[in-house]
Amino acid sequence: MSLRIGDEAPNFTAQTTEGEIDFHLWLGNNWGVIYSHPADFTPVCTTELGRTAQLKNDFQKRKTKVIAVSVDDLDSHHKWIVDINETQNCTVEFPIIADSDRNVATLYNMIHPKASTSTTVRSVYFISPDKKIQAIITYPASTGRNFTEILRVIDSLQLTAEYLVATPVDWEVGQDVIIPPSVKQEDVEKQYPKGHRVIKPYLRYTPQPNK
């Protein structure tokens, strides 16, 4: 059965390039991103893993752990990392799961039979500290992920988990956010002390509360 937003992220034990992990224990009280790769030594994946390594500080700033999964074995992963570091001018220091038995890929519905019966699509799962899936993005194998968008989604998820707001189209940190329709107008001034503006009764903006 497919995983959906709000479901608990399946736990698993796996061998990775950083040693054996229990996924939930490894995640701890952090946010997490787990994402899949069709195979080792593939060009698009190489650029994606390199970009993840380059964004190490950005993920750390967001208290977010990143872990990748590929259906190849550990020996292949370690050899591939050498290529990634060389070609992408980076140092891969996050774990890559060896998923030869496709256990993790199956748990996370990363193999889509109409695309391929053996390799994974480019799935991305965003997981909150309570181990719940908060967002899912899936790309075909031919389309590389946009890591600016992945960071933007994390920013939105973390903000809306803490405050009663929603983020509008193309929102970025520091921009105004939306007051949900569930908040009655008579409660707005108390709930949003930074002020607000009304475009329509259902479309109300307020400054980002933590900026």
Q: Nearest to residue 58, comparing CAs of 211, 178, 173? A: 173
Q: Which helix (H) or strand (E) holds 129?
A: none
Q: Nearest to residue 71, comparing CAs of 105, 47, 45, 43? A: 105
Query: Coil, helix or strand for 146?
Result: coil
Burial of 104 (0-12, 13-18, 19+ CB in 10 A): buried
DSSP state of 164: S
> Starting at the edge strand that comes first in sequence, how are the strands of the sheet with 177-179 ordered?
177-179, 203-206, 197-200
Greatest Cα pair distance, the chain, in angstroms, is 62
Active site residue 45: yes
Task: Tell me the residue type at 208.
Answer: Q
- The residue count of the chain comes to 211
Which residues neighbour 98 within 8 Å (Cβ) at sequence distance 6 or greater?
14, 15, 16, 17, 70, 72, 73, 74, 77
Catalytic residue among 14, 27, 34, 45: 45
- Active site residues per annotation: 45
